[in-house]
Each structure stands twice: as structure tokens, then as C-alpha cells.
Structure 1
Amino acid sequence: MSNKIHVDEKWFYMTKKKENYYLLLDEGEPHRTCKSKNFVDKVMFLAAVARPRFDAEGNVTFSGKLGIWPFVTKEPAKRSSVNRPAGTLETKAMTSVGRDVIRSFYINKLLKAIREKWPREDYGKSICIQQDNARTHIDPDDPEFCQAAAQEGFNIYVRCQPPNSPDLNVLDLGFFNAIQSLRYKESPKTVDELVSAVEKAYEDFSPISSNHIFLTLQQVMVEIMKVRGDNNYKISHMNKARLQREGRLPCQLSCDNQLVENTLAWLNTM
């Protein structure tokens, strides 16, 4: 699991449709405006995360955070306003993200981040990029990506996770919800401010919490085997925070051998 990178896209909104505020008795109600409450400005991001690593003393040696990149463009303003003259470059969110754009981000941003941040002790080992089965994602055998991934001595390849299994991606399992909560601590007014807020939330997310999500992923895998590939299961509580404080948090979860054998036997009958 340490050689696997989870990637996925997510929309981040400028604000929520409904907000709760706690006000003092003499404090006025906040006034929020937008063009339409049903069409709040938003930006899509591509995120990539791997399992963090720690030394024997618990210090972070690799955060696992490879990057989060917005799908935006820079366009010159067509008209002057009180905020900027005509021709000033403005950040605009991409309204359509196709396979060519995803391929470009994989090659120019994701692969670059892997080469810069991946632990040197794993140089030369295989690295798997796990994506879901969205139509806009590249094929695992995409020739342009495969050619770029094989450069500089790296062995990087793409694999698609099982269909209809969002819990097998740590980003959907908990990472996105966590940085979404951190993002809502900010109040961006522009696309640039939204991008900065999301990037800050991504960087502020604790590697310890990220490691907890990867342990939850292992729990999910066990539960999926118990229900033979179904998604109707419940994840038991491990009290990871308490185990972390006591120094008893496992790196890997054990699995019953009989469960694995029964699962393999069931798969062979399909």
C-alpha cells in the first residue's frame, strides 16, 4: 500500500448554500450575495495523496501529500471595472475537463511531483497511480502517459479501482471531507482566494490523520471481502487517536486467513 498514489477530482465551492452563524445580541446578521444561490462559483481540483511515512520516533519522513492542482485558466479582462483595468489577467475556472486535460495534468503536474517528492529509498520501485473509472480519466495503457512515466528511471503505472467502490480511494473515504472542513474556515471572494484556501487546507491537513484514513481503507477491504464485493457494510471503530497516543497504532491490520481463502474461492467461481 505504500507504493500506491490515490488520485481523484473534486469540486470546491466558493461558499455553501446555507450557513449557520452564532451572533452576539447586538451583532448584525451577515450579508452574503451571489449571482444565483443555485449556481455558486466553484473550481475543480485534482488531488494526489500517498500513505505518509514515519521514522521509529514517530517523526514524519514523507507526508504523502503530492499536490492539489486547480483546473483554472488565465484570461484577460474584456472590460474595465473599479477593481482592474481591461486586459488584466483574471483566473477563470474551467467549465469542462476532458481526457486531454487530465492527461496533461498527470504528465506535467502529477509525474513532476512524484519525481520531486517520492522517498529516495524507493527509487526504482514500482509506483501505482490509482484512479476511478470516470470517462475523462486516461486509459492505463495510454501511450503518451506511459512514455512520460518511464523517464528518469521511474516505473510508474496507472490502475483503475473496482467500479462503484468509492471507499477504496482514500480521497473519497475521508481526505476530501477533511480538507473541505478546513477550507470552510476561510471566506474567499474570488477564484484566486478559493484556490489559495483549498491549497492551504491541503497543506494543513495532518499526516497523522491521513495515516488514519489509510488504516480505515484496510478496514474497508476486510469488510468488502466479508460481504463478497458488496458495498453494504459498516466499518467498526478502532479508536485510532487513543491507540496513537498510547503508541499501539498498527501499521497494517491483520485479516483472517479463512476469509481470504473463501474470497478467492468465490472469485474463482465467477
Structure 2
Amino acid sequence: MPLNIDLNIPLDDVNTSNNLPNMPLNIDLNAPPNIDLSSSIEEEDHIVERNDTHNVVQTFPKKRCFLDNSQWDTIFQVLINSSVDGKIKRGVVKQLAFFYQVSIDVIYRIWKRAKESGVVSHKKTKNYGQKRVELDIEKMRNLPLVKRSTIRSLAFALETSPRKIGECLKKGILRRHSSALKPHMTEDNMKSRLKFCLSMLEESNISYDPKFQSMYNIVHIDEKWFYMTQKNKNYYLLSNEDEPYRSCKNKNFIMKVMFLVAVARPRFDNEGNETWSGKIGVFPLVDKVPAKRSSVNRPSGTLETKPITSITKEVSRMFLINKVLPAIKEKWPREYASEPIYIQQDNAPCHVSINNEEFLLAASEGGFDIRLICQPPNSPDLNILDLGFFSAIQALQQKNATKTVDELIQVVQNSYDAFSSVDSNKIFLTLQSCMIEIMKVRGSNNYKIPHIKKDVMLRQAILPAQLNCEKKLVEEVIECLQN
């Protein structure tokens, strides 16, 4: 028999105590089983009781729980049965809230709505809220890359909102990728790269256990422009801080200086202590020129540092013979001075030929055996300077503001000196791993630089000086070159 109560009448005017004892309750099967309404709230250690039952601090899961209409009806029936003169017994609301994992405000809202309107149900339909539009992300495969360069253009091509694309990025469905232009490879270029990689393997064990050379006797040289400043720079400012103002006469002609950098592989003892940094030197390609006119900064005739803007073979030979060779002979470890030393350069037209007589004569002085070798054409990834050394010291250089050529030269020199020999040694290992990948793709430059966890091996003191190469891979490369 259902409860015969007019819910529009205030509960204070209804004598529920005379009607409830002998009446069966119309309780749904979803009602909480065996709820002990007489239990004290002190038994629940996750609820903190205060004097006012409306000011109770409860801890529930962060995920919000929604009750359906049958649960609303069950809760109301329990509240009716546990009320006396329209007042709910102490602790019932808290126990219901704990059982259904909702706030006590939800229980009070059900009680209030039933008293005011007589309707024990929420106002939500079965399917409520904004309908989710499924995004067919596989359509991206047929889109040209030029339409995927920004979130907005991709969203427009997929006929969706940028917010949807952002959600896919957060979930890992999409990923950002920076595509860099790489040198074009011809068949001859790829074969030259394969031959160069094979030449870097130790000849003694190439037939049974291929392993790369230690590369301690190779000096990598190359030139790079260093700019006084960048066209665009990012800064972090306070909310009320003025934005910096930067200007120049022509941003296409920012002051720059070319540097010739020479680096060999650093050496360490068995305990990992550095015995030689491998840094030969960084040489600015500049001239000291007397000023033709007087100015507010200096009188005429004062020597000024001017960058050499045209790099010719004569300039390259002069710096190689007068700067690089003396630095190698001065800084090279004496216990290894009798071994051949190779200077690796790229194939720029301004570079010195490997058979240049002036170079050969200067290289043989002092009992040294210094030779020139050239890396394969279009292969900056086979020189440690282009592979990572230049970008590292440039990042250090850009942290300092410079206004003159002399200041720029000093900052680049300081950045070169500050670069860690440990990091320089890791670049040589990266070079060996790149050679393995080059052989896998048969001389192409379409590969990803592998991560071999050098920092982890360094912390565990197991960082190798040479990487092994698979015997099968070497055999396949040799067969490829023979065909």
C-alpha cells in the first residue's frame, strides 16, 4: 500500500507518526540494503561533524555521481520513513550521502523539491546535454601537409573546431613535428656516405666483430656565422613591465662574424677524469683595419676589427696553416703526437685541397703527421660541429648581449671554452650511432637520430668509447656497394 501523503502540505501538519508504523513502504529495489538509520554518525571516520548539520565537511571521490529517478524515489522514501513531525532523524542524511557517494546538499535538495512540488524526480531527460560529435581523425592521412601546418588550418580542413584538435594533442592522438630541410642526395652521394661509414670501422675486426674507431685522432673543422643578435627573440616579462624595444638599420644586414672552429674528441682516464678537452680553438675570420675617419668613438687611424665577408681559398689556407696547425701541434697530447692526425673538413669550394703543397709542408714540420680528409658531399650529419657542437655554443652565445665585433668574438670564445667536454664526447657517440642509421637506410639522410641513453650509461659509468655495428649490416652495405 503506497504512502497516502499529500506532498503539497507542509510536513509539520502531517501526523506521519500515526501513518507509518503499519504501512508498507513503496521502496524501489535500488534502495540501499540494510541501512541502519539509528547508527551514529561518529562511526563514519571520514565525516567531520559540527553543531549545525548543514555545515559538514565530507570527503568523496572527485568524480561527480548523478542519481537517476528511481534512486531519487528511494532516497525520499527512506527520508519519509525516518522523519518525525516533518524533521529527519539525526544522521540519516549523512548516511544516505555516504552510501550514494554524493554531497549532503543533494539529499537536502531531493527532500526540499518533494516538499515544494510533490515531484520526486530530476528534470534531466534520458539523453541530455550537448551531443558529442565524433571526429574521424583518419581523414588526416588524405590531407596534404600544407593544410596541417597549424591547428586552425587543420581544424578547418577536418570541419571541426580548434578545441577538438587541441584535445587530440593532449590525448596523444596527434603530435607536433618540426620538419627541417635536408640536403638532396644523389646516388653518388649515398655511395660516398656508405664508403665513409665503412672507413670509420676498425679494419682488424670488421669481418667478425665490426666496431667503430675511437676517433681520437680526427680533428673536425668547419666555419659558422655568429650574429650580433636575432631578428626575433622571446622574453619573459612581468605583467606590468614595459616591452623591450629593439631596432637596427636593416634587419637583413645584422652584424655577423664567421668563426673557424676546430675540435677533437676529448680524452678521459679509467676513472672518468678528463685528461684532455679536445678543444683546438675557435678562430674569428676578421682583420684589423685602421679607421679612415675620426668619429665620436675613436680618432682616425685607430685599428678596428672588421669581419672578413669574402672567404676564399687563400683565406682558408692562411687560417689553416697559421692558426689551426700551430694550435694542434701546441695542444695535442705528447704521448700521441707520433700517430697520424686527420683534419676532417667538408667539400666547400673555398676549402684547401688535401694535396695542397703549402699545407703538406707546414703539416710535416715538428715531426707531426697531419693529413687532410674530406667528408662526403652534402653530409653535415657526419661532422660533429654541424651535428651538435655549433648549436650548443650558439645557445650559450645568445644568452649574452653584444654591441661590437670585439664583444661578439669574446662571447663566442667564452661559450666555446664553457662547453662541457663530457657533452662533446657524447656528440662523438651520436656520430657513430648516425653512421649506423646511415648504413641501415643505404646512405640516405632520411633517418631519425637514435637515442641510446648516453646520460644513463654515463651515470652508471658504462659509457662506451666505441659502438658496435651488426656484422650482417656491414655485409649488406658491402654487397650494396659492389652491385
TM over 0.5: yes
Q: Deviations over 1:208-230 (max 9, x none)?
A: 00001000000011111111111
C-alpha separation between the residues in 1 aligned to 2:225 and 2:235?
Answer: 24
In 1, are the aligned partners of 2:434 and 2:450 still within 8 Å (CA)? no
1:204 aligns with 2:422: no
The unaligned stretches of length 5 or more in structure 1 are: none
1:59 aligns with 2:59: no
Partner of 2:328: 114
Structure showing the higher strand proportion among its residues: 1
The unaligned stretches of length 5 or more in structure 2 are: 1-214
Q: CA deviation at 1:31?
A: 2.3
C-alpha separation between the residues in 2 aligned to 1:123 and 1:25?
Answer: 59
TM-score of the aligned structures, taking structure 2 as reference length: 0.55
Q: CA deviation at 1:130?
A: 0.4
C-alpha separation between the residues in 2 aligned to 1:183 and 1:242?
Answer: 28
Partner of 2:352: 138
Q: Deviations over 1:109-168 (max 9, x none)?
A: 110011111111112110000000000001000011001101111000101101111100
1:69 aligns with 2:283: yes
Give 1 or 2 for the bigger CA radius of gyration: 2
Identity %: 60
1:217 aligns with 2:422: no
Q: Aligned-residue CA RMSD in angstroms?
A: 1.0
Partner of 2:378: 164
Tell me the secondary structure at the aligned position of residue 92 of structure 1.
strand
**Residue among 448, 456, 464 paired with 1:250:** 464
Q: Deviations over 1:225-264 (max 9, x none)?
A: 1111111111221121122112121111111011111111
Q: Relative contact order: is structure 1 or structure 2 higher (C-alpha 8 Å, sep ≥ 6)?
A: 1
Tell me the secondary structure at the aligned position of residue 224 of structure 2.
strand
Q: Deviations over 1:72-126 (max 9, x none)?
A: 0111112222221222111111110100110011111110011111111112110
In 1, are the aligned partners of 2:290 and 2:303 still within 8 Å (CA)? yes
In 1, are the aligned partners of 2:228 and 2:254 still within 8 Å (CA)? yes
Structure 1: which amino acid aligns with 2:414?
K
Partner of 1:261: 475
C-alpha separation between the residues in 2 aligned to 1:27 and 1:80?
Answer: 39
C-alpha separation between the residues in 2 aligned to 1:2 and 1:190?
Answer: 37
Structure 2: which amino acid aligns with 1:70?
P
C-alpha separation between the residues in 1 aligned to 2:280 and 2:332?
Answer: 8
C-alpha separation between the residues in 1 aligned to 2:367 and 2:385?
Answer: 28
Structure 2: which amino acid aligns with 1:173?
L
**Residue among 27, 30, 34 paired with 2:248:** 34
Partner of 2:368: 154
More moved, 202-211 vs 229-238: 229-238
Aligned residues: 269
In 1, are the aligned partners of 2:364 and 2:370 still within 8 Å (CA)? yes
